[in-house]
Structure 1
Amino acid sequence: MNLFIGLLNMAIEKDNDRALYLVQKAEVLAEIELFYLLPHQRRWRSWFPEVIYCRVDVEKTRIYIKEAIKKGKWNMDDWPEMKHKILKLLSIDDAIIDLAV
């Protein structure tokens, strides 16, 4: 765990990016869960919840997604149901995606 904390601190100091921190944290937790725990320990939801939530600003998220669509990084083939729900919640038209493709 000390190594985990040290790596996360280095990542935060290096980029100071909250999103990168959360992604790295999720990756490390998934690795620990998959490779270092016994099967009965993996079922302990108090240790490793099914989903990790984070709060984001709606307007910043809308801007980020629109930029990702324009740059062609928003691939609707990956997780299409989730991405359609996100676009609907953020009031982003599917027409924007069609123009970017």
Structure 2
Amino acid sequence: MSLTIRDVNHAVELSFSGDLNIYNIASIKEQVQKALEFATRVSLDLRDIEEMDTSGLQLLVALKKEMSARDIQLDVIHLGAAVTPIFSRCEFERSFGLTSYVR
């Protein structure tokens, strides 16, 4: 798993690639928390995730809750083939405010 972080004036884009699972979630979570310390807006690019287990889902839900509590906008800007069916099954399109998205 790799995580690319782009920060432009505290608008942070997190681009995930590879597997988001129990084996790497702790290090990814630490990187995400550091990146979001001063964020005013967050975008998630999930198109290059190859596999995501329940640990990855938990990270996304926790991130959504934290951003909501801090009144920070969270956008999912891309979903990939591995993530789209999971979002559909869990009805995350609605909870993440996705009415249309790029696959």
Q: TM-score, with normalisation over the residues of structure 2? A: 0.31
Tell me: higher relative CO, structure 1 or 2? Use CA pairs within 8 A at least 6 residues apart: 2
- Higher normalized helix content (fraction of residues): 1
Report which of the two structures shows the higher radius of gyration computed on alpha carbons: 1
Q: TM-score, with normalisation over the residues of structure 1? A: 0.32
